[in-house]
Amino acid sequence: GLPLGRLDLDAEMRIVEIDDAFHHVFGDATSLRGQPLDMLVSERDSRGAVALAGRLNRYHGEVIDLALTIRVNAVDQFARLRLVKVDDRFVVYVESAEGAGHASRDLAVLRQRWDGVMRRSDEGIVLLDSEGTILQHNVRFFELMRFRTAHGVTLTEDALNGRQLTSLLSRPFAALRDRLAAGEDEFAIEIVIENRTLEVEGRMLRLAAQRGVETLLLVRDLSERQQIAARDAVIQADLEQAALFQRSVLARASNPSGLGIDVTYRPLQGVGGDLYDVAVLDGGTVRLFIADATGHGMTAALSTMLIKTEYDMVKATATPGATLMALNERIFRNHTKLAVMFTAAIVDIAPDHRTLTYSCGAHPAPLVVHADRVIEFEEGGPPLGARGGLKFPEWTSTFDHWQGLVLVTDGFAEARNSRGEMFGDARLHAAIADADARGRPIGTTVLSSLDTYLQTQPLTDDLTLLEVHPRGIRRLTAEATQ
C-alpha cells in the first residue's frame, strides 16, 4: 500500500506521538510534538487551514478527510489527512500526495468537490448501490421525500443510511419503484403527492473498475418554482437594501494627511464577506485593516458586521499583532456558536510615512511598490475565530520613497479562467506595476486585467483592493466605483 504517517492526538487535538513512517515520508517532525494539529498546515494554505478549523469546530465523531498543504521542517508538501476518533483520543493518518497525477491527491480533491456539491445543491441527491441500498444522500433529498413508516411515523434522516430505497417508498412512488426495478440507464418521471409535484431523474453509473453499477437520483419540487420566483424577488430586494447598508458601513475611507486612499470593492452577490477599515490613531499612525470572512453572500456579509463591530472595540490597540489577538479573542468568546472565521491583515503607517508595521492572520501579504518594483511582504499566522489564545506574527519594514501600498483579498489571485488556470500572484503584481508606471489607479487597472483574463468566466469570490499612496504620487481619477 501507499506509505502512511500516523499522528496520535490528545483530547485537545495536540500531537503527542509521531510514528516512524511519518518521519520517513515527510522528514524529521520532532518539533511538531506538543503542537496543536492546525499548526501542521502550511501558512500558505489559508483555505486549507480554514477548512480544517471549521471541521474541527463542528466535529461530531465523523471521519475528517481533507487534502491540504502541510509544512514539516519549513518544507511545504501536499498531503491527504484523515482524522478518526479512538476512545477519548484522535488519530490522524497522513499520506503524501506530491506529484502530478497522484491518485490519492486526485481522489481526495474529487471527494471534497463531490461532498461540496451534495451539501450545496438545491436538488435532492441520493446514490444507490447495485442492490438499491442508499450509499449517500443529502439533506435536501430527505426533506423532499418525507419518508414515513407504515404507521405514518416520520423517519429520521439517520434511518435512511444502509436501507433499500424501494422499502421506504410509499404507494404514490410506485412509478419510481418500477423504473428502478427495470434497470433503465436513464429516466425522468413526475410524481404527484401531498399537493406537490416531484420530478425524479435517474441515471445508471457503470463502474468498470469495480464491475458494479450505481444509480444516481435527482429530486426536484416543481411546485416550488413559482413560490421560489416570488421569494427570489423579495430576496433580491432585500439584497439590494443590504448592499446599500453594507456599503454605508464600508464608507469611502477619508484621506489622512499626506496620503491618498482608493478602495476597489466588488462583492460576488451584491453583498459579500470582505471588509476594510482605515483609521488614524493617536499620534498620527494610520492603521489599515482588511478581512475576508469564509463563505459568500448574506451569511458572509452578516459575519462582516460582527467582525466590524468587534474590530471597532479593539482597533486602537497598541500594535497590529496585538490588535489581531484582541479581535480573535472577542470573536471567539462572543460568537463561538456562530463559527465566524476569517483571514485578516493590519498595516500601521508611521507618521513619517517611512515605517510600515504589519501583522497577518492567514491573509495575503501586503504589497509595496518601491523603486518601480512590487515587493511582497512576509505572510503567516492562523485564521481568526477558530479558537482562542492565538498569536499573530508581526513585521516592520522601512522605505524612504515608496510609491504605493496595496492590500487585497484572495479573490484576485485565485480567480480562474475557463481552463481552470488561476490569475495568480504574478499577474496581480504585473498589473499593479503597470498601473504605477502609467500613473493610473491600481484598483481599476487590476480589475481590467482580471476581466480580460477571465473573459466570460464568472468570478467565484469577492474582490477587495485597498490602495494607499503618498500624496505626491500622481494618480488619474479612478473609474472603479466603491
Give the model confidence (pLDDT) of 419-475 as tens digits.
999 999 999 999 999 999 998 999 999 999 999 999 989 999 999 999 998 875 544
Q: 19-33, 146-160, 171-185: which has the minimum mean pLDDT? A: 146-160
Q: What is the pLDDT of residue 233?
A: 73
* pLDDT at 24 > cutoff 50: yes
pLDDT-derived band at 221, boundaries 50, 70, 90: confident
CATH of 4-117, one of 3.30.450.20, 3.30.40.230, 3.90.226.10, 3.40.50.300: 3.30.450.20
pTM: 0.55
Q: What is the pLDDT of residue 107?
A: 53
Sign of CA dihedral 433, 436, 438, 444: positive
- State the DSSP H helix or E strand holding residue 34, giving kind and residue range, or none if neither: none
What topology does CATH give the domain 251-470? Phosphatase 2c; domain 1 (3.60.40)
* Better-scored residue on pLDDT, 168 or 255: 168
Between CA 299 and CA 111 the distance in angstroms is 25
Domain residue ranges of the chain, discontinuous segments joined by +: 4-117, 121-222, 251-470
Distances (CA, A) of 354 to 26, 191, 258, 358, 474: 42, 71, 12, 13, 19
Residue 170 CB coordination number (10 Å): 15
CATH of 121-222, one of 3.10.20.600, 3.40.50.300, 3.30.450.20, 1.10.800.10: 3.30.450.20
Look over the chain and give the mean of its residue pLDDT values, rounded to a whole number: 85
* pLDDT at 212 > cutoff 70: no
Q: What is the pLDDT of residue 195?
A: 80
Of 212, 211, 176, 209, whose CA–CA distance to 192 is shortest?
176
Q: What is the pLDDT of residue 51?
A: 83
Fold match flag (4-117 vs 251-470)? no
Strands, DSSP E only, in 267-341? 274-280, 286-293
- In this predicted model, what pLDDT tens digit does every residue of 456-471 receive, in sequence order? 899 999 999 999 988 7
Is residue 63 classed as helix, strand or coil in its secondary structure?
A: coil
**C-alpha 73 chain-centroid distance:** 26
Cβ neighbors of 478 (< 8 A, separation 6 or more) are 262, 264, 441, 443, 444
pLDDT-derived band at 382, boundaries 50, 70, 90: very high
Question: What DSSP character marks residue 31?
Answer: G
State what percent of residues in the chain have pLDDT above 70. Answer: 85
How is residue 95 written as a grid cell? Answer: 499520506
Q: Is 307 exposed, middle or buried (0-12, 13-18, 19+ CB in 10 A)?
A: buried
Q: Are 354 and 398 in contact (CB under 8 A)?
A: yes
pLDDT-derived band at 246, boundaries 50, 70, 90: low
* pLDDT at 188 > cutoff 50: yes
> What's the one-letter identity of residue 404?
G
- In this predicted model, what pLDDT tens digit does every residue of 285-337 receive, in sequence order? 999 999 999 987 778 888 888 999 999 999 999 999 999 999 999 999 999 88
For every residue of 340-371, DSSP letters joined together read --EEEEEEEEPTTS-EEEEEEES-PPPEEEET
Q: What is the pLDDT of residue 292?
A: 95
Q: What is the pLDDT of residue 211?
A: 46
- In this predicted model, what pLDDT tens digit does every residue of 34-74 receive, in sequence order? 999 989 999 888 878 888 888 888 787 788 888 888 999 88
Q: What is the pLDDT of residue 480?
A: 31
Interaxial angle between packed helices 424-438 and 442-454, expressed in degrees from 0 to 180 and rounded to the nearest 10: 140
Q: What is the pLDDT of residue 366?
A: 96
pLDDT-derived band at 477, boundaries 50, 70, 90: very low
Q: What is the pLDDT of residue 476?
A: 42
Residue 352 CB coordination number (10 Å): 9
- Across the range 173-201, mean pLDDT stands at 89
Of 80, 69, 141, whose CA–CA distance to 110 is shortest?
80
Of 93, 90, 94, 83, whose CA–CA distance to 10 is shortest?
90
* pLDDT at 8 > cutoff 80: yes
Is residue 225 classed as helix, strand or coil in its secondary structure?
A: helix
Q: What is the pLDDT of residue 98?
A: 65
